[in-house]
Structure 1
Amino acid sequence: MSLIKRSDWPLLGNGSWLSNFFDNDRFFDSDLLKKQSLPAVNVKENEKSFDIEVAAPGLNKKDFSITAENGVLTISSEKEEEREEKEKDYTRKEFSYSAFSRSFALPENANEDDIKANYEDGILKLSIAKKVIGPVKTKRAIEVK
């Protein structure tokens, strides 16, 4: 009797999850681990402004960088955290790093000079005031003297 290596089993064949995990470190090159997570964004327009809400829990106000230049609004964040625990018999050191960047093309009537930002309860809220484009014709009464 001879042993035959079977590669047609669903969990053990080439390209399977288990095969990718155990063979040649292909698991760590998978698309699953390469995906960058971006926070969810809501954009609303009303008469006076454009309102943007970014879901970014666990961050502080100082973690954000917001710029507006040449009609592009960029919201980015970087956070690095490091913890170290020392006991008699061991030392444990953990660190984490997270970052994201989102850019938005601003419409012509967005006023880049009038943007307000507020971060509360894990939600970054931006309000971009609208500006009037072109001549506005308003009705006015003319008094006869």
Structure 2
Amino acid sequence: MTNSFTLDPARKELERALAAGRAAALTKEIERLKTALKLSQDELKKIVEEQFEGSLRLGDEIWGKFPSVSWKGSSEVVRMLCAALAIDNVDPYEYISITEANLKKIRKEKGLDINEEFMENIGFKKSIIMRFDNKKADSEE
């Protein structure tokens, strides 16, 4: 009778090796598809801009450029907005959030050590949304 205890580590190692190979193949396929998607989007964009005056309706979808709006202002302008909202009994700070990118920018540009512990100690709640994506292996984010 074969001792299943001695086979388990070998089986797990084999399964892990097979999974690693499959994962590598999937990542290559995903990168290939991303590249193909980007090329197709660029080609479609050119066709829509040149042949359809920037907008193409296909069934219940419209392909074209659509605005993505954000507002930036100096700190003085932001203070003015906050004051105007407060006058109308709106708490402006319910609508203002701090991004990790802005914290990194503060650290880099201003040399301030604003870390997670500091943020939590003054009352901020950290919100993390996990999304499956890829990034460079040496990336901090």
Relative to the length of structure 2, the TM-score reads: 0.25
Structure with max Cα Rg: 1
Relative to the length of structure 1, the TM-score reads: 0.24
Higher relative contact order (CA closer than 8 Å, sequence separation 6+) = 1
Structure with the higher fraction of residues in helix conformation: 2
